[in-house]
């Protein structure tokens, strides 16, 4: 019997058993690597196929806008009346216009100009609108009342009247169109930021920051604006296609850029005039502008879902 005891101990040693359940020392351990807000949003955005396709399409258009004009030996303003209205061919990939200018070069030069105007206008809208809305919401009271009355005055003035007045005072061009769009374009951004900050300023972290001696400047730039980044990014994504459409519309009716400068609006205007016999002059710039606007809108919808904390599972 004494010899059997060691045998039993060997048969039922600790190595033969596994602990069921969770170990006490691992109960507080994080089981997956921590995710930042940016990574978390990016993971949700990648699940949206429409947003990913739109992002790829915009990337291709942007690359062509940057490098497309250098892929041929022609300049966008270079004329040659001997080759006017040539259809697409190996020499001129998208054909030529009434002055014999290469359409491939002009389309991507025009896309570059239109994107430049739109991004610049959106950036100025961001800069003015976020600052104005944040100050208005944080100050409150009479200051907020006066600032909102000024916004209401700007909203009541039609954009087209402002643009016509500016063109009467200034030469039509990129600067004139940008200024015209920015004069009233920042208003929507300011109202959205103001409404969001009104919600945030009553929360505990703002009270804690005030009690620790934070100035209004620090509250705005370190606490309030970072918590409205999602709203700002989404609004900017909707602002850019809207600015592109505005520029195209103004150039189409003759209030925007003038030839020999190229923009999507100028190209669509030229294509419209020769649409019956040379439809390709209208088709290609129309495809580009539709692609840009649809891609931006779908991507903005995807970003709204990705950046909205309520959409988290």
User: Residue 24: what pLDDT?
Assistant: 55
User: Residue 105: what pLDDT?
Assistant: 93
Taking the complete model, does pTM exceed 0.85, yes or no? Answer: no
User: Residue 153: what pLDDT?
Assistant: 87
Residues of the chain with pLDDT under 70: 1-37, 308-313
Helix (H, G, I), strand (E, B) or coil at 129: helix
Q: 300 near 232, Cβ under 8 Å?
A: no
CATH ID of 116-311, from 1.10.3860.10, 1.10.3720.10, 3.30.2080.10, 3.40.50.720 = 1.10.3720.10
Please report, for the chain, the start and end positions of each structural domain, with discontinuous segments joined by +. Answer: 116-311
User: Residue 313: what pLDDT?
Assistant: 46
User: Residue 53: what pLDDT?
Assistant: 94
> What pLDDT digit, counting tens, does each position of 51-83 carry?
899 999 999 999 999 999 999 888 888 888 888
Q: What is the 3-state secondary structure (H, E, C) of 159-183?
A: HHHHHHHHHHHCCCCHHHHHHHHHH
Q: 113 Cβ partners below 8 Å, 6+ apart? A: 174, 257, 261, 262, 263
CA 150-235-51 angle, 5° bins: 170
| Count of helix runs (H) and strand runs (E) in the chain | 12, 0
User: Residue 112: what pLDDT?
Assistant: 92
């Amino acid at each position: 019997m004494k010899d059997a005891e060691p045998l039993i101990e060997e048969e039922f040693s600790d190595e033969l058993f596994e602990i069921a359940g969770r170990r006490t020392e691992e109960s507080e351990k994080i089981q997956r690597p921590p995710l930042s807000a940016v990574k978390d949003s990016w993971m949700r955005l990648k699940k949206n196929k429409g947003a990913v396709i739109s992002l790829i399409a915009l990337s291709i258009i942007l690359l062509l806008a940057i490098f497309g004009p250098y892929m041929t030996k022609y300049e966008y303003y270079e004329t040659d009346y001997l080759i006017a209205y040539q259809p697409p061919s190996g020499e001129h990939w998208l054909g030529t216009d009434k002055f014999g200018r290469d359409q491939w070069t002009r389309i991507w030069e025009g896309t570059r100009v239109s994107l430049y105007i739109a991004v610049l206008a959106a950036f100025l809208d961001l800069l003015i609108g976020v600052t104005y809305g944040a100050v208005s919401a944080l100050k409150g009271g009479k200051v907020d009342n006066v600032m909102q009355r000024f916004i209401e005055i700007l909203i009541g003035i039609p954009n087209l009247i402002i643009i016509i007045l500016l063109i009467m005072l200034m030469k039509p061009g990129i600067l004139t169109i940008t200024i015209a769009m920015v004069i009233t374009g920042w208003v929507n951004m300011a109202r959205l930021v103001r409404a969001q900050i009104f919600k945030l300023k009553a929360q505990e972290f703002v009270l804690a920051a005030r009690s620790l001696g934070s100035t209004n400047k620090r509250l705005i730039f370190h606490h309030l604006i970072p918590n409205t980044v999602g709203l700002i990014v989404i609004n900017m994504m909707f602002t850019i296609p809207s600015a592109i459409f505005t520029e195209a519309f103004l150039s189409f009716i003759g209030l925007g850029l003038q030839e020999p400068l190229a923009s999507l609006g100028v190209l669509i205007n030229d294509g419209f005039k020769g649409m019956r016999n040379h439809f390709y002059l209208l088709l290609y710039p129309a495809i580009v502008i539709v692609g840009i606007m649809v891609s931006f809108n779908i991507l903005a919808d995807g970003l709204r879902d990705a950046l909205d904390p309520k959409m988290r599972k």
